[in-house]
Chains A and B, each alone.
Chain A
């Protein structure tokens, strides 16, 4: 039933003229820079998390007598510890894993690691600099022989590690169960 629809095409063309002809250049640059700044801040925060997590992990798994790291909060001792950010100190015996009461996020995986999880089409790969992490999420931009749009999303699952989540071009944070924060890969309502 697609024949005889020339007038429909004409009507669509007429209607489309109402889109206007606003000069978008300055708006686009502003929006792009704003997004880049936001991404840079999030990437910086993720890097701090990753380094902090690595230091904490290395310290927690160090054999022998406790030797507190120079940059860490007061080391675990016989008495109860109450880090400044800990809302409710546990009464359980001191554990060598002093971060157990804090939210812990994994380090950011490499592009190669994510490629193994994503089953990309032939000739496609993830741009290493595009990999960004936010809490238990990682995103990566694919690049390949044809121009494409969208990102791949991965989620870290305790005990399972990184898992492919989905791909898309514009995620709604609420759809991912994210209701706060400023993730680089989705939009808050």
Chain B
């Protein structure tokens, strides 16, 4: 049973990295960028691990760092690394799985067309299931901003990828 902060941090990283990588992938649209983002956020948490005290704060701190870094460091790096090949490899043509893969591809491309903040808001609201208030606190903005960004992001998704939204509605 780990006792030191370092042990607890190591355990946290090993246990939560996959979940952090999933969020980071949605934010960046690229696996390598996602790893970089998670690495930097975790490194920040590692540097502040003694100040954080309670290891239960590690994840909240790391996720906050991730969102902030994503919004600031990636601001000029539009997600250009589309990886349709890599995603398409997962599909089984003709199967129902292929349909889900098509949906993923469309979503992948559509997310990449949004602003970084819109993407962050969608990920927080619809992937992490955060409330508007939680998303606002995490992104250091008002609830009104979250609402308007969500609305704009969905409208933009609808305009850019009508097929995606049609598929979504059809499945619903």
Residues of chain A at the chain B interface (Cβ within 8 Å): 1-2, 4-25, 27-29, 31-32, 35-36, 127, 141, 143, 147-150, 168-172, 187
Contact with A along B118-147 (1 / 0, CB 8 A): 000011011101000000000000000000
Q: Is B117 an interface residue (CB 8 A)?
A: no
B window 9-44: CB within 8 A of A: 10, 13-14, 17-18, 20-26, 31, 34-35, 38-40, 42-44
Contact A172–B72 (Cβ < 8 Å): yes
Q: Which residue of B lies closest to A15 (CB)?
A: B104
Task: Name which residue of chain B comes closest to A174, CB basis.
Answer: B76
Is B168 touching A17 in the complex (CB atoms < 8 A)?
A: no
Tell me the count of chain B residues lying within 8 A, CB to CB, of chain A. 61
Cβ A28 vs Cβ B46 within 8 A: yes
Q: Is B52 a contact of A18 with CB atoms below 8 Å?
A: no
Chain B residues within 8 Å of A15, by CB: 25-26, 87, 104, 107-108, 111
B64 touching A147, Cβ below 8 Å? yes
The 8 Å CB contact of A23, one of B14, B20, B22, B47, is: B14
In the bound assembly, the distance between CA atoms of A91 and B49 in angstroms comes to 55
B13, B44, B86, B123: the one within 8 Å of A18 (CB): B86
Q: Once the chains bind, are B127 and A168 in contact (CB under 8 Å)?
A: no
The answer to whether A32 and B104 touch across the interface, beta carbons within 8 angstroms, is no
**Can you report 11 A-B residue pairs in the complex whose CB atoms are below 8 A from each other?**
A5-B172, A7-B171, A11-B103, A12-B107, A15-B87, A16-B23, A28-B42, A147-B60, A147-B61, A149-B68, A170-B68
Note all chain A residues with C-beta closer than 8 A to B167.
Answer: 7
Whole-angstrom distance between the alpha carbons of A148 and B172 in the complex? 38
Contacts of B100 in A (CB 8 A): 11, 14
A9 CB → nearest B CB, Å = 5
Indicate if the CB atoms of B39 and A29 lie closer than 8 Å. no
CA distance A41 to B51 in the complex (A): 22
